[in-house]
Each structure stands twice: as structure tokens, then as C-alpha cells.
Structure 1
Amino acid sequence: MAAEMAEDRVEALETAAFHMVTGIPKATADLPVAVVVEELRGHLFDCADCIFVTDREGRFTGIVRINDLLAAAPEEEIGDIVEERHGTAQLGDDQEHIALLAMEKDMIAVPVLDGAGKLVGAVPPDALLDILRHEHMEDLQRLAGIQRHRDGAAEALEAPIHDRVRRRLPWLIVGLVASTAATGVVALFEETLNANVTIAFFVPALVYIAGAIGTQAVSVAVRALSVVEVGLVRLMRDELIIGLFIGLAMGLLSALPVYLIFGDGPLAVALGLAVLGAGTVSAVVGFGLPWAFQRFGFDPALGSGPVCTIIQDVASLAIYFMLVTAIVI
């Protein structure tokens, strides 16, 4: 019960109702500009970046930016310079939706309406910046497999040590258990390693390259899920092409030093092909994994990084040792 109450409190703190201010300048569309400017004098508003225009019943109709207000002729009516196509938020809307709406619509502040469409306040620019920072920190933590803290990202840094350990440990334990698969792959190719110990020199570099490519893909996928609605097939096709190009470039850059320094042409070819294959697999897995998380009802950012690391490590090692066995040994 206590946990549910804490979760409800967090959700309440991440809504438009929590972030909005009510001290905002308002005007009706039939008022002259000169009257509105005069009425602004002597008032201290919580958000004065624009004028919020309503009808006589208080229903929101648009905004007038301060620059447009000051540039207009005194006799003009507010309705003549109002921006009618303007995004709005409801009291219970999530803060991430509000911040994305502001960016998409190029909004200075986000008007907040009640269920009847009446203006009750606005989310000001400083609150929008705070929301963006909070969401960014939260995404970074979830990508790393760190469970969400009920009091937010900043408080999580000052939480008791045992609390911070508890939040970071679960996905890492999963990774530790699953890493036995990578150990198993290496054990399967023990004879290959014994035949040419030089093969082992390039395992760390291969695993790092595959991991870096996968991490980039995970980050792009998680952000894409938050801000765009594009078909998965098209995005996966693009990521496959990107992975092939990156893998090809990194494969050539990896193979050349091996050939020049060790003089081992077959090993250079095997390593280059392994980087190409591992890079492509990592890009596709890293991009597709968050989509799979979302498809099955999980947070697409939660643990994507650690899980992707497990898959790409096993895949890159398997590809590398199979190619080395086939080409070098």
C-alpha cells in the first residue's frame, strides 16, 4: 500500500497540474491592443511571455506573443493578432507529453485547460526546461538498467547507499548470469585458441566495437520511441543499412593494422568480416530491442543497455570464432 501511494505521488508530481502557474495575463479577443497593454501595467505575473486569449466564458482560443502585441497598432483588436492554432494540455497530462508538445509546436508556454476547455493556467518556460532535464536524466538511468527512484533523478544521487545499490543491481545480475553464454562460446572454440594464441588479442577490441555500435542504436531507438511515430519496418531497414556501412568501415580499419603489424592475411580478413558482422548484428539488435520491450508492455528504456550488451557480446564472439576457425585454422 505504501509503495502504491508513493507511486501515485510521483505520478501526481509529473503532470501539467503540478507544473502550471495560474498568475498569467489574459485577454478576450475583442479587446483593443492599447487596452491590453495598459492592463498589463502594475501586475507581476508568474508567466508573462505571452497573452492568453479566451472567449467571454473563459474558454481558451489562442495566444498573442509579447513581440506581436507591442508591434501591433493600438487600435487593433487582440483577435486580429492571435495565434489560434496552438497546442494545449489537460490537467492530468504527463510532463513528457507537455515538453514534447512545446518543442513540436514551438511554444513559449503551454496553456492548461480543464475538462470544459476553460483556461486554468500555463506551464511556463522554466518548468519546461526542468521537465526536459528530468526526463533526460531518467532516460539515461533507465538505459543503464537503473530502476526509477520514487523522488526523481536528483534525489537518487543523495539516497542511502543501500537504496542506490538496490536500484542498480537487478539488471546487472541478469547480465552476470547471462554472461555465462559468452564464456560458453569461448570454451567451444578452445582448440582454435590453442592453435593460434594471436586470435585472443583482438577479442577485447571486437567486443568493444560491437558494444559501442549497439549502445548508439539503443539510444537512438529509445529517443525515437519518445518523439516520432514511424513504422518499425522502415526504421529497421535504415538501421540495417547504417550497421552495414559502419561495420564495413570499422572492419577495414581493424583488418589493416592486423595485416601490417602481424603479417597475417587470413586473420586480418577474419577479423574484418567479424567486425562487419558483429557491427551489423549489434545495430539491428540495439535498435530492435527497445521496440520489443515496448511491444510486450515493458519500458523500452529499462534495461535495454545491459540486455543488448549480453546479446551483442555472445553474437560477436560466435561470429569471430566461427570465421577464424573457417579461415585461419
Structure 2
Amino acid sequence: MVPFKLSDELIEQIEQLIETNADATLLHMMEEFHYADVAEIIHELNLDEATYIIKLLDSEKTSDVLTELDEDIREQVLGNLSAKEIAEEISELDTDDAADIIAELPEERVNEIIAQIDDKEHARDIVELLRYDENSAGGLMAKELVKVNENWNVLTCVKEMRRQAENVTRVHSIYVVDNDEKLKGRLSLKDLLTTSTKAEISSVYIPKVDYVTVNDKAEDVARLMSKYDLEAIPVIDELGRLVGRITIDDIVDVIREEAEKDYQLAAGITQDVEADDGIWELTRARLPWLLIGMLGGLGAASIIGSFQGAMNKFPILLSFVPLIQATAGNMGVQSSAIVVQALANDSIRGELLKRLAKEFMLGLINGIAIAFVVLIISHFLFKTPYLVSATIGVALITVIIIAAIIGTFVPIFLDKKGIDPAVATGPFITTSNDVFGILIYFTIAKIILGF
């Protein structure tokens, strides 16, 4: 298979086919492309051209294309379609994808679309999913699955599985329930095929099965599926009844979105934004941390100003201020990044004091190594007096140790308080360590140099 490559020539060709209403040629071209590639093409077209292609394609392919579109583009395209047309596309999707798309629309539009869906059971399932928080297991799950009753025999089970599988895109697991629809376990295809057709399912199913509840957080579901390498996981309600399943493709989306959010928080962006968002949205996302950074800078400047006498007596000290700030900031970000990653993966182990002691030793070793290099450079390059060099060396070691401890402690503290620890990285740690670094630097200089 030749990899798809979007080009200006291809877009121009498609635009010309739309302009000349060459539907047969355009339809043949679009059918050759994967639905994800069609979505990529639509992103490069204007709204009328995008709507033209959506209406041209059959509902089975169009529904998949809609799931791949950016939310803003999809909202505009759906705005050009009637409730009946949207209902036809929704009918081709699994319930979880259908609910995700419908949830983006105004409430009055949602009611119109639901009323137009011919498959009333499909419509009821979508309505049920819309009641759950989008960041919960209930909001992630799909209603399509294969389940069998523990009281059936193998022959009845196989017949029922064939019937149910028609509505399931991919069968990951076969779940076993009792007469009250409560999850009892899972069924192995191997056991099913090698067991007498008269045997009851209760004698062959596997009672041990991982599951989540409808109110579990999406991040917890992702962590569980990642830990046990699950392709799918069943979802139960408060009464233990099997109500849906979550598949790995949904979890990949959760992991990607969580990673993007953490990356933006670490970079000092307070809300989820994209490069194509408006100037006002981008400004609101960036400005708060920039203001915090500004306050940190003013604090550092104030500290330096309070040691003006030392600057006059030992002007060489000022030359090493950027070094102190950069080293403190980098060490703090490194420590916090490791801890945040461990917290996200639920892999952080041991007591807090032991972890802080470990960071203390790491800071000490790194500090001594960096201080040694700086001492050599300052002595031979800057001809720095021995006492001033000693001041810089001791300050570097102290600052690095403090930065490592802060970078470790703050994310753990925020996590225990229910705050996303990703906010601890980036500007927060850098700014706080800049201020502490300068204060420690001049305090040590005052003690050693005696000004």
C-alpha cells in the first residue's frame, strides 16, 4: 500500500472536480482513500467544498470521516447538514462515537437528530451514554458487545453470539452475565470450541475478569488497561450489571489528550488550546503563567537590589547570576518531570522522605560535578579570587540540592491535594527556583565574603 501524501496538486484537482460537478470521478477517487485521509483532505477545503464531499459519500464512510475531523471543522460541517442527514451518519457509528459527536451539538439539535434515527434501540443507547460525564468510563464506553448467559448451553451460546456479533465491529471478548445482567466473567473461545455443545456456560467460563464502573475516571481506566495490556475492558453500573465496554482505541485517545494537556501545563498554558485557536483564547491560556513568571522575575530583581552593596564590592558575583538561575531551573524541571511521569503512570513507590533523600544525594553529586567545572572555568577564564570561587561553588551545590528537593516535593504534594501535578513543571518550578536560587546565592555570598 502506497502511503497517502497530501499535496497542493491533489487539493486543486479535488476543488476542480467539485466545481465541475464531476461526481462519478470524485466519488471513485474518495473511495480509494482511507477515511482518515479523506478527513485530512477536508481540512484543506472550504466549508461548502467539505459539505459537498460529505453529502457525496455513502453514510458508512462519511460516519468514519466525521470521527476523524477536528471538532471545530466537524461542527461547521454538521451545521450544513439536516437533522435527517446527520441521523443517517450517526446510525452507522458505534454508540460511543455517535454520542461523542452528538454531544458537541446544541441540545435542541440533539433532540431533532435522536428523533430521526430509525434504529430506536441504537438511539436509546446513545441517549444513555450522553448522561455520563465525558471523562468517565461511562462516557468512554460503547454499548456494542457480545455477552452470554451463564445458564445457556454451548450450542445456544454460539447461536446467540452469531446474532450479537452482527452489530459489533470487532469482538475482543465474550462476557458472561447472570439472569440479572450482572457480570460474572468471560468466555474463552478455545474452551467454547472444545466443550460439548450440551455443556452449560457456567461450567466453562472464567470468573476472573478485570472491569471498571461507569463513574471511574478515564485516566484510571487508561492506567488499568495499560498496566494489564488489555484490548478491551467491560463496564458495570452501580448494581454490577454489564452495561458496556471500552476498547483500546478509545484509551489511546485519552492517553494522547492527557499527554497534550500535561505538556501544555508544563509549558505554562492553563487551558486546552490548539495552534489554530483565536488570539484571545491563546492569550487567556498563556498570560497567567507569564504574569507569574514576571512576578518571579521582579522578586529576583528585588533580591539582587537588596544586595547592591555586595555588587559594588564584588561585581563579579553578578556575572554568575544567570548561571545560578538556569542551573536551579533546569534541575527543578528535571526532578519534577520524572515525578510527574511516575505519578501519571502510578509507578511512584516508597515513602516521601526516602524519595527526598534520594533527590538530595542526586543533587549533591550533580552539584559537586557542576561546581567543580565552574570553579575551573571561573579561575582560569574569569580570574576569580579563590574566596569568590568558593562562594559560587558552595552556592551552586546548595541551589541544585534545594531545586531537586522542590522539584520532587511539589508534584507529590499537589497530587495528594487533588491538583494535577503537571502544573508543578515548567514555569512554576522554574520561577520558584529562580527566586530561591538568587536568595540562596547572595545569602551564602554574604556569609562567606562577609559584606
TM range (shorter): 0.7 to 0.9
Counterpart in 1 of 2:282?
Answer: 164
2: CA distance, partners of 1:217 / 1:108: 33
Counterpart in 1 of 2:209?
Answer: 86
CA-to-aligned-CA distance 1:15-51 (integer Å, 9 cap, x gap): 2222111222223456677876776557352442222
Match of 1:205 among 323, 326, 337: 323
2: CA distance, partners of 1:298 / 1:135: 14
Q: How does 1:179-258 map to 2 (within 5 A)?
A: 179-226=297-344, 227=346, 228=348, 231-258=351-378
Q: How does 1:54-69 map to 2 (within 5 A)?
A: 54-64=177-187, 69=189
Say if 1:271 and 1:171 are closer, same or farther in 2 by CA, change over 3 A.
same
Shift of 1:96: 0.8
2: CA distance, partners of 1:250 / 1:259: 14
> Could you say which structure has the larger radius of gyration?
2
Percent identical among aligned pairs is: 26
CA-to-aligned-CA distance 1:143-200 (integer Å, 9 cap, x gap): 3332234xxx5xx433221111012212321331232221122122333333344333
Shift of 1:99: 0.6
Q: How does 1:1-329 map to 2 (within 5 A)?
A: 12-29=133-150, 43=166, 45-64=168-187, 69-70=189-190, 74-75=194-195, 82-149=205-272, 156-226=274-344, 227=346, 228=348, 231-264=351-384, 265-294=386-415, 298-302=419-423, 305-327=426-448
**1:323 is matched by which residue type in structure 2?**
I
8 Å contact from structure 1 (residues 32, 75) kept in 2 = no
**1:63 is matched by which residue type in structure 2?**
R
Say if 1:296 and 1:88 are closer, same or farther in 2 by CA, change over 3 A.
closer
Say if 1:237 and 1:118 are closer, same or farther in 2 by CA, change over 3 A.
same
2: CA distance, partners of 1:248 / 1:72: 65
**2:249 is matched by which residue type in structure 1?**
D
CA RMSD, aligned part only? 3.3
1: CA distance, partners of 2:426 / 2:434: 12
Say if 1:176 and 1:235 are closer, same or farther in 2 by CA, change over 3 A.
same
8 Å contact from structure 1 (residues 213, 279) kept in 2 = yes
8 Å contact from structure 1 (residues 171, 303) kept in 2 = no
| Mean CA deviation greater in 80-89 or 45-54 | 80-89
CA-to-aligned-CA distance 1:275-301 (integer Å, 9 cap, x gap): 211111111112222344455664433
**1:240 is matched by which residue type in structure 2?**
F
**1:95 is matched by which residue type in structure 2?**
A
Say if 1:307 and 1:272 are closer, same or farther in 2 by CA, change over 3 A.
same
8 Å contact from structure 1 (residues 12, 18) kept in 2 = yes
2: CA distance, partners of 1:186 / 1:26: 70
Say if 1:47 and 1:245 are closer, same or farther in 2 by CA, change over 3 A.
farther
Name the structure, 1 or 2, with higher relative contact order (CA <8 Å, separation 6+). 1
Say if 1:84 and 1:132 are closer, same or farther in 2 by CA, change over 3 A.
farther
2: CA distance, partners of 1:261 / 1:37: 82
**1:106 is matched by which residue type in structure 2?**
D
Shift of 1:326: 4.7
2: CA distance, partners of 1:301 / 1:234: 22
CA-to-aligned-CA distance 1:52-87 (integer Å, 9 cap, x gap): 2323432212335xxx63487622776677553333
* 3-state SS in 1 of match to 2:145: coil
Say if 1:103 and 1:84 are closer, same or farther in 2 by CA, change over 3 A.
farther
8 Å contact from structure 1 (residues 289, 304) kept in 2 = no
2: CA distance, partners of 1:117 / 1:109: 18
Give the count of matched residue pairs.
Answer: 314
Q: Which runs of 5+ in 2 are unaligned?
A: 1-105, 107-129
8 Å contact from structure 2 (residues 236, 242) kept in 1 = yes
8 Å contact from structure 1 (residues 214, 312) kept in 2 = yes
8 Å contact from structure 2 (residues 336, 424) kept in 1 = no
Say if 1:220 and 1:161 are closer, same or farther in 2 by CA, change over 3 A.
same
**2:309 is matched by which residue type in structure 1?**
E
* 3-state SS in 2 of match to 1:112: strand
Shift of 1:240: 2.6
Say if 1:59 and 1:11 are closer, same or farther in 2 by CA, change over 3 A.
closer
**1:277 is matched by which residue type in structure 2?**
T
8 Å contact from structure 1 (residues 294, 300) kept in 2 = yes
**1:246 is matched by which residue type in structure 2?**
N
Shift of 1:202: 2.6
2: CA distance, partners of 1:81 / 1:313: 64
Say if 1:112 and 1:170 are closer, same or farther in 2 by CA, change over 3 A.
same
Say if 1:95 and 1:199 are closer, same or farther in 2 by CA, change over 3 A.
same
